[in-house]
Each structure stands twice: as structure tokens, then as C-alpha cells.
């Protein structure tokens, strides 16, 4: 303990802004408290005693109530962004407090980052302890935050992108009666997310991990008066619990075998677990189970598409840019463990690749604009796991960052579109689906800024140079190819197969996924922005660009999506400083990367150019195929659409995975709980046999006793006499 | 000498027990109980004399005192039972039946 304190005092960051790291999550938490207090005041009251109902505001309040009822009646299982319209009396305060705390957090994060940059290369993390949290027996867990290159990347993304999304929300959510509640949840989410990435030990990370899960649940079910939304929130929460069990078991095993849960402590003594031992593989796979739940990988991805029931800024912040990438962060953070288990590494990469491919195929046939982006997110998270699984932690984190830029842009752009669509339908009183792409089309004319920015994001995610997604995806694919050629993973065997062959297959599947990504994203753009407009004659007059408070953050994200690639240029394309992010992360993940990659460097340059060329050709081919094959002009609005057939229908129905889970797991579980556990064990054995049975038994003994009480004193006298004789006899003849 | 006294005491006690067990009239049962008490008193006296100690006689005095008190309470109870039931036959009195 004393040594640690001394180390902290002499650390390069000791006297800089980093000593205020504890404030980072506290600032959004303060925002949560203020907005949470405001949200206790209702936007309108229902009773006749409401003073505003009698005053000038009467019509507005009545209209708001009518709308609330309308929407509750008509909203279906699609969970679209239809909702009641009523401005909260303190909306102005929430508009200031909500984004302001994020601006402050971001400023502090930038200050800490500048201090790190000026402190020169920092090989050890700056750990600040606040208090002892759990001290029992050998278990000593301090509430401590760790500032290093990896956590700073995450903090900058969370506060930076989070800030933009908060500003966007001012316009997007302004007319919602739950406006302060929305900002309260959003602030609380940021606070927990910062705890997650700053935690210096697994338990502290776990607190953030569970906290963001809670906020995700609250925000998915934000419009909880619609049952479908509330169910979606519940689904997310329950599916995530499965993964969290894995996280917990991983922690237990780690503590039982290493004796500490601090990152620095585990990293120092991880080698005692034994290279490629069953134990370290088990620990890694348990942690990966947690990541599979949180980051929506096969087979636990089913909650993320349903999570689109939440407001669109929530989808952008939580279900695309930050929370769902926590699994990637955790594996990069635990690189010292994963580097010791090639089996676990290849498992991560295989699951990631299969998820990327699987989700991309579903994305091909979705009509809901947010559902396309949801499956796209799952697919891109699969890419990140492919990267970190292949031991390319810097490449995985790079894709995490660029994905945060372009996917936040795509979601906010789709939010802009939905906002415009919803406003148009609102004007005409129509109840068409504002999120279905079949009802859009030709929006290029009405929303030129959103149109251009969405194309930048689309080209970026499709992997077209020079946009950011090209570089990060190329980094991952290149790393997978390099690992297949030589290194620890190529020499390992996975389920009896040579690791090298597995990784080559993964590389090819990654290319196929890139092709599909280009197709479904181009499809989204074509159906939304190109071709004729299908919204409706009356509605077209009301389609317009969103206000600047919403478009502004989009522009910033557009610049980041376009230029984000310069964060980590590959050596083969020296368009500027090469490998900045990789060098920045080297003190944290460099050792783990080297352990997986082996002593040899990356692929030789000629091969590298070939790989880059293949990726570019595939991306452009995907876009060309989509443009050539898809005819937006032939599309009809949703209400006139014919049902699809064959494999298309299977894709549209998402491979029936939800139905299979329902039939294979949920229904047997429910009927087993109802028929065996409830009727059989609870009511049958516990209630009938044990609870009522003991009562019957006691009553039976009581009945026997009462029969002895005949009231005949003579009988009592006989009993006493015989008893006395028996006692005498016993003493006499013993 | 002592064996005769104890035999006589045992006979008296047995008569008392049999009376209590077989008779139904409360007054007679009451008298039988007194008989049992006095049978015990007799053996106290005989054993006191055998051991040349006054302890047994002291006990007898106590027993007689208790018996007197018991007789007073017991007879009062029997009288009030009779007032209530117009009978002292114990077959008719089973209020404590469970």
C-alpha cells in the first residue's frame, strides 16, 4: 500500500490534471441528479384540479393528452419513435444541464489527455485510489481509477461522441414529456460508462458494466407505456444477465488462482496460470461470455435489434458507439490473459467473424432503417472481435473508435430522417410507419445535409478509401491475414483444426462480410434518399431538414468519419504519421500483441498492397452491385408491399432466431417453471406436502391428544394408578 | 411389628386406590383419597418408631394439615358441583372433555 502511494506520487501524471480523474464520472452523475429531480415534475397533470388546465394552456394540455392516447392505441410492435407530444415546463433547464455536464467531462478528458501527451511515453498506468471498497480476508478491492492510454481513448470517445449526441438530443427529444428523465438516464449512463473504462480492477469495471446495463434497460423502455418497448428493455436486461454470469465466474476463477483482481496485479502474475493451460482458457472464455452478452455477439445478439425500441440518440450512444463496445474494451484490457491462450483468442475471432457475417446477411433484407443499422452494428462489433481475437488489439480499438464516429453519424442521421418523417406524418395526422424505408425515398431533395453526411458514413463503413472505416477494417483484416501466416495463433490448433487454416477462412469470411456491408448500406441509402418519394402527396410539403442543433453534431461526426483514418495509418499507406494509435496503445497492449503475433512483423509489403487492393475492390464491387441490382423506383410504400418469399423471407424474418429461441428455450423454460417448478414443486411438494402437511401432522397429533382428554376423571385416575404401578414396577424389577 | 404395620398400611392404601378407581360418587372418592393419605400416615408413624426419629411424625402433622385444607376446598367444590348438576356422580361431569 505504501509502495503504491509512493509510486503514485512519483508518477509522471501525479501533479497534472489526471489527479482530478475522480471527477470524470461525478460530473455526469451530478447532471443525473439535477435532471432526475426535474423529471419528478410531470409535464402535464391529468386531473380536473390542474390549474393549467383551466388557464390559457388548456388547449395545449388537452391536445397533448389526446395525442398520448392516440399513440398508445395505434403503436404496434415496431416500437417506432412515435410518442406523446408535450413540452416539459423545465425543458430549458434540462437542455442546459444535460449537455453541459458532458461538455465539462469532455474538457476534463481533453485536459488529462494533453497532460499525458506532454508527459512523454508513459509505460505504467496512473492509478488513483479513493477508498477501500471491499476488504474481507484475502480479498482487498480498492475503489480505484486507472488512467492509461487505453482508458483515455475510451474516455475521449465516450465524452466526445456522447457530447455530440447529447446536443443532438436537445432537438430530437425536445417535445417529449419525459425530456428531463431522458437526460437524467443519459447522464447516468455516461457516468457508469466512465466508471467501466476507468476502473482499475475487474470489480470496479463490473460496477460500470452493470450500471450501463441498467441505463440501457431504462432507455430502451423509455416509452414504456407501449408494451413492446418495455418487453424489449426486459429482453436486453435478461439476455445480458447470461453474459454477466460469465464475467462473474471469470472474476471468481481469477481471484481463486491469482489472488488479486487489479489489472496491474493480474498482469504481473498472469504467467503463473500457465501458457495455454485449461485454466487460463476457461477464465478467458468466461470473460468472453460476458463480452458476448454486452457486445451482442452470437448467440446472445438477439437483444440489440429489439433495443432499437429506444429513442434514436440512445441507439447511437449506447447501442452503437459506447456500451456495446465495452466487450471489445474488456478483451483489449485483458490482453495479458488472452495472449496466454491461443484457443480463447481463436474462439473470440471465430465468434466475431461468424457474427459479422450472420448479422450482415440479415441486414440485407430489413425494412426498418434502424434495424438495418442495428444488424450493421452487430456485424461491425463482430469485426472488432475478429481483430482483438487475432491479437490485433490496436486494430480492434481503432475500429471501435472509427465505428463510434460513423455509426453514431448513421444513427443520428437516421434519427434526423425519422424526425422529419414523423413531423411530416404528424402534420397530416397519418399513422404510417416513420421508420420504414419503403415509406421514404427521394429524401435527398428535402434533407441535403443529412444526405451528404450519411453517404460519408456509408462509404466509411463500406470500407472505401480514404474514409475512416477503410483503414480500421483493413487493419483488422490485414492482422488476421498476418496471424494466419505466422505467430502463436497459426501454430495453435483449434478444435483439432490448424489455427492457420481457421484464420485464413476467417479472413475470407471477413471479405465476404465487407462485400455484404457495402451492399446493405448502399441499399439503405438508395431506398432512403434516392428514387421517387413514397411518403405521400400531402406529407411531402412538410419534409424538411432538422434544425441546426441536430445537424451540427452530424457535421462534426461527418468530419471525424471522413478523417478518422488518419489516427492510425498503415505503414503501406504513409499519407501522414503512420500508426499513431498503435504507438499510443503500445504500453498497454504492446506486450500482448507481441506475444500473439510472434517476433516477425506484419505481412510483407507486396502482400499488404494486394490485401488493401482486394478490400477496396470488394467494397466498391458491393456498392456497384447494389446500385445495379436495386431499383428504388419500383419500390412501393409499406402498406402496399407484397409479402416476400423464399430465402428473402427467411432473411426478413431474421432466420427465425427469435422464434427458435422462443420455442427451444423460453417456452420450455416458462412451461417447465409453470408445470414443474410452480405446480409440481412449489404448490405440490412445498405448499401441499411440507407446509400444509406439517399442519395436518400437528392437527393429527392434537386430535390424538384430545381423545385422551375424555373428561372422565375415573379414566385419569386409572391412568395415574397404572402409571404409578409401572414406575414402581420398573424400579423394583429392573 | 413393622411388617404388620406396613402390611396394614398397604391394605388400607389399596382399598383407597380401588375405591378411587371404581366408585363414581365424588364424596366416596374423596373419602377414599383420605384413606390413602392416612395409610401413608400410618407407615410414616411405623417407620418413625422403627428408626427412633421424630421426622416421620412431623411429616404426619404436615400431611394432616394439608388433608384438612384439601378437605375444605374439595368439599366446597363438590357442593358447588352438586348445586350446578344436582348430582355428584362423576360420570355426568366431563366438562374437560377434549
Q: To which H or E segment does residue A494 belong? A: strand A493-494
Q: Which helix (H) or strand (E) segment is A132 a member of?
A: strand A126-136
Contact A714 B17 (CB under 8 A): no
Residues in chain A within 8 Å Cβ distance of B20: 717, 721
Q: ipTM value, please give it.
A: 0.84
Give every CB contact of residue A165 below 8 A, 6+ residues apart in sequence. Answer: A313, A316, A317, A321, A408, A412, A553
Of the residues A305, A321, A340, the one at which a domain ends: A340
| pLDDT confidence of residue A599 | 58
Q: Smallest Cα–Cα separation from A372: which of A615, A626, A82, A628?
A: A626
Strands A497-498 and A493-494: antiparallel
The mean pLDDT of B27-45, rounded to a whole number, is 93
Name every chain A residue with its beta carbon within 8 A of the beta carbon of B17. Answer: 721
Rg value, chain B, Cα? 16
Residue A628 is placed in which grid cell? 445495379
Structural domain boundaries, residue A531: 401-641
Both A325 and A448 in one domain: the answer is no
Distance, in Å, from the CA atom of A436 to the CA atom of A417, rounded to the nearest integer, reads: 11
Tell whether A255 and A284 lie within a shared domain.
yes
* Residue of chain B minimizing CA distance to A704: B98
Residue A734 distance to chain B (closest CA, Å): 22
Is A557 in the same domain as A675? Answer: no
Q: Name chain B contacts of A711, Cβ cutoff 8 Å.
A: 93-98
Tell whether A616 is covered by a domain: yes
Residues of chain A with pLDDT below 50 are 1-3, 5-6, 49-80
A647 occurs within a structural domain: no
pLDDT at A2: 42
Would you say A398 and A379 are in contact if contact means Cβ atoms under 8 Å apart? Answer: no
Residue in A705, A710, A718 nearest the CB of B21: A718
Determine, yes or no, domain membership for A363: no
Q: What pTM does this model have?
A: 0.80
Domain ranges, ordered by start, for chain B: 2-85
Measured between CA atoms, how close is B74 to chain A, in angstroms? Answer: 14
Residue A59: exposed, middle, or buried by beta-carbon count in 10 A (0-12, 13-18, 19+)?
exposed
Nearest CA-CA partner of A494 in A619, A589, A423, A389: A389
If you average pLDDT over every residue of chain A, what do you get?
A: 87
Residue A642 has what DSSP assignment?
A: P
How far off is chain B from A721, nearest CA to CA, in Å?
Answer: 8
Smallest Cα–Cα separation from A64: which of A41, A88, A81? Answer: A88
* Helix, strand, or coil (residue B11): helix
* Domain identity same for A117 and A255: yes
| C-alpha distance from B78 to closest chain A C-alpha (Å) | 14
CA separation for the pair A187, A212 (Å, rounded): 11
Provide the pLDDT for residue A535.
Answer: 84
CATH annotation of B2-85: 1.10.287.3510
A466 class by beta-carbon count within 10 Å (0-12 exposed, 13-18 middle, 19+ buried): middle
Phi and psi based region of residue A121 (left: phi greater than 0; alpha: psi -120 to 50; beta: remaining): beta
pLDDT at residue number A281: 93
Confidence of residue B89 (pLDDT cuts 50, 70, 90): confident
Say yes or no: A566 and A470 in one domain.
yes
One domain, residues A616 and A676: no
Contact by Cβ (8 Å): A483, A476: no
- Overall number of domains in chain A: 3
Residues A571 and A471: their CA atoms lie apart, in Å, by: 11
Instruction: Name the grid cell of A382.
Output: 463482430
Residue the block writes with cell 470524470: A24
Interface test with B, best of A713, A716, A721 (most B CBs within 10 A): A713
Q: Which residues pair with A145 in a beta bridge?
A: A128, A199
Q: Is A707 on the interface with B (CB under 8 A)?
A: yes
**Termini Cα distance of chain B:** 49
- Domain assignment present for residue A486? The answer is yes
pLDDT, residue A427, reads 84
Coil vs helix vs strand at A379: helix
Which residues in chain B have Cβ-Cβ distances shorter than 8 Å to A708? 98
Does A704 lie in the same domain as A569?
A: no
Are A193 and A244 found together in one domain? yes
Same domain, A267 and A331: yes
Q: What are phi and psi of A493, to 5 degrees?
A: -115, 145
Do A721 and A604 lie in a common domain? Answer: no
Inter-chain CB proximity B98 and A717 less than 8 Å: no
Report yes or no on A617 lying in a domain: yes
Amino acid at each position: 500500500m505504501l509502495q503504491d502511494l509512493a509510486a503514485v506520487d512519483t508518477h509522471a501524471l501525479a501533479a497534472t490534471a489526471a489527479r482530478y480523474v475522480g471527477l470524470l464520472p461525478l460530473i455526469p452523475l451530478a447532471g443525473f441528479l439535477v435532471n432526475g429531480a426535474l423529471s419528478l415534475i410531470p409535464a402535464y397533470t391529468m386531473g380536473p384540479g390542474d390549474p393549467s388546465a383551466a388557464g390559457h394552456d388548456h388547449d395545449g394540455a388537452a391536445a397533448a393528452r389526446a395525442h398520448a392516447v392516440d399513440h398508445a392505441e395505434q403503436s404496434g410492435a415496431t416500437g417506432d419513435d412515435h410518442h406523446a407530444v408535450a413540452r416539459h415546463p423545465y425543458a430549458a433547464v434540462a437542455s442546459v444541464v444535460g449537455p453541459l455536464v458532458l461538455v465539462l467531462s469532455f474538457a476534463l478528458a481533453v485536459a488529462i489527455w494533453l497532460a499525458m501527451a506532454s508527459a512523454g511515453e508513459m509505460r505504467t498506468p496512473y492509478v488513483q485510489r479513493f477508498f477501500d471498497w471491499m476488504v474481507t480476508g484475502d480479498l482487498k478491492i480498492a475503489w480505484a481509477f486507472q488512467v492509461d492510454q487505453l482508458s483515455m481513448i475510451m474516455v475521449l470517445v465516450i465524452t466526445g461522441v456522447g457530447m455530440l449526441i447529447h446536443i443532438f438530443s436537445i432537438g430530437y427529444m425536445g417535445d417529449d414529456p419525459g425530456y428531463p428523465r431522458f437526460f437524467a438516464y443519459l447522464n447516468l449512463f455516461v457516468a457508469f460508462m466512465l466508471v467501466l473504462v476507468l476502473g482499475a480492477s475487474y470489480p470496479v469495471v463490473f460496477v460500470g458494466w452493470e450500471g450501463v446495463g441498467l441505463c440501457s434497460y431504462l432507455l430502451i423502455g423509455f416509452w414504456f407505456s407501449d408494451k413492446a418497448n418495455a418487453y424489449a428493455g426486459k429482453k436486453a436486461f435478461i439476455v445480458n444477465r447470461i453474459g454477466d454470469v460469465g464475467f462473474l465466474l471469470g472474476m471468481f476463477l481469477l481471484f481463486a488462482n491469482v489472488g488479486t483482481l487489479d489489472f496491474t496485479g493480474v498482469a504481473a502474475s498472469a504467467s503463473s496460470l500457465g501458457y495455454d493451460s485449461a485454466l487460463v482458457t476457461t477464465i478467458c472464455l468466461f470473460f468472453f461470455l460476458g463480452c458476448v452478452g454486452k457486445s451482442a455477439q452470437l448467440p446472445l445478439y438477439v437483444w440489440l435489434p429489439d433495443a432499437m425500441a429506444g429513442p434514436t440518440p440512445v441507439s447511437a450512444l449506447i447501442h452503437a458507439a459506447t456500451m456495446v463496445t465495452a466487450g471489445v474494451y474488456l478483451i483489449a484490457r485483458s490482453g495479458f490473459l488472452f495472449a496466454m491462450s491461443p484457443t480463447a483468442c481463436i474462439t473470440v475471432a471465430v465468434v466475431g467473424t461468424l457474427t459479422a457475417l450472420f448479422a450482415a446477411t440479415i441486414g440485407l433484407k430489413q425494412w426498418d432503417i434502424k434495424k438495418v443499422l442495428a444488424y450493421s452494428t452487430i456485424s461491425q462489433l463482430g469485426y472488432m472481435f475478429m481483430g482483438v481475437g487475432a491479437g490485433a488489439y490496436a486494430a480492434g480499438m481503432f475500429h471501435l473508435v472509427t465505428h463510434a464516429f460513423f455509426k453514431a453519424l448513421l444513427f443520428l442521421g437516421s434519427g434526423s430522417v425519422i424526425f422529419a418523417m414523423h413531423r411530416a406524418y404528424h402534420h397530416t395526422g397519418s399513422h404510417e410507419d416513420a421508420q420504414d424505408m419503403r415509406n421514404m425515398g427521394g429524401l435527398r431533395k428535402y434533407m441535403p445535409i443529412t444526405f451528404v453526411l450519411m453517404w460519408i458514413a456509408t462509404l466509411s463503413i463500406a470500407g472505401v478509401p480514404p474514409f475512416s472505416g477503410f483503414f480500421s477494417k483493413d487493419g483488422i483484416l490485414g492482422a488476421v491475414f498476418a496471424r494466419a501466416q505466422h505467430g502463436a495463433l497459426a501454430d495453435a490448433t483449434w478444435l483439432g483444426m490448424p489455427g492457420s487454416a481457421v484464420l485464413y477462412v476467417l479472413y475470407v469470411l471477413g471479405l465476404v462480410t465487407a462485400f455484404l456491408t457495402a451492399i446493405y448500406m448502399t441499399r439503405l441509402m438508395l431506398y432512403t434518399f434516392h428514387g421517387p418519394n413514397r411518403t405521400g402527396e400531402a406529407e411531402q410539403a412538410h419534409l424538411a431538414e432538422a434544425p441546426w442543433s441536430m445537424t451540427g453534431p452530424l457535421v462534426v461526426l461527418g468530419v471525424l468519419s471522413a478523417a478518422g483514418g488518419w489516427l492510425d495509418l498503415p505503414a503501406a499507406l504513409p499519407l501522414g504519421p503512420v500508426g499513431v494509435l498503435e504507438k499510443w496503445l503500445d504500453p498497454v497492449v504492446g506486450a500482448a500483441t507481441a506475444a500473439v503475433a510472434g517476433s516477425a512483423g506484419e505481412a510483407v509489403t507486396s502482400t499488404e498492397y494486394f490485401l488493401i487492393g482486394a478490400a477496396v475492390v470488394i467494397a466498391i464491387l458491393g456498392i456497384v452491385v447494389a446500385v445495379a441490382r436495386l431499383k428504388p423506383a419500383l419500390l412501393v410504400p409499406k402498406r402496399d408491399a407484397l409479402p416476400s418469399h423464399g430465402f428473402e423471407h427467411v432473411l426478413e424474418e431474421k432466420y427465425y432466431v427469435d422464434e427458435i429461441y422462443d420455442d427451444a428455450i423460453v417456452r420450455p423454460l416458462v412451461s417447465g417453471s409453470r408445470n414443474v417448478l410452480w405446480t409440481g414443486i412449489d404448490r405440490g411438494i412445498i405448499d401441499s406436502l411440507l407446509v400444509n402437511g406439517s399442519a395436518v401432522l400437528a392437527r393429527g397429533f392434537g386430535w390424538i391428544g384430545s381423545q385422551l382428554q375424555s373428561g372422565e376423571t375415573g379414566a385419569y385416575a386409572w391412568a395415574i394408578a397404572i402409571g404409578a404401578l409401572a414406575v414402581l414396577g420398573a424400579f423394583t424389577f429392573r | 411389628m413393622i411388617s404388620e404395620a406396613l402390611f396394614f398400611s398397604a391394605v388400607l392404601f389399596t382399598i383407597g386406590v380401588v375405591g378411587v378407581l371404581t366408585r363414581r360418587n365424588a364424596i366416596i372418592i374423596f373419602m377414599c383419597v383420605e384413606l390413602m393419605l392416612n395409610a401413608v400416615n400410618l407407615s410414616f408413624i411405623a417407620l418413625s418408631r422403627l428408626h427412633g426419629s421424630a421426622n416421620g411424625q412431623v411429616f404426619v402433622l404436615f400431611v394432616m394439615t394439608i388433608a384438612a385444607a384439601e378437605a375444605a376446598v374439595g368439599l366446597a367444590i363438590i357442593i358447588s358441583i352438586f348445586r350446578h348438576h344436582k348430582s355428584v356422580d362423576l360420570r355426568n361431569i366431563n366438562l374437560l372433555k377434549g
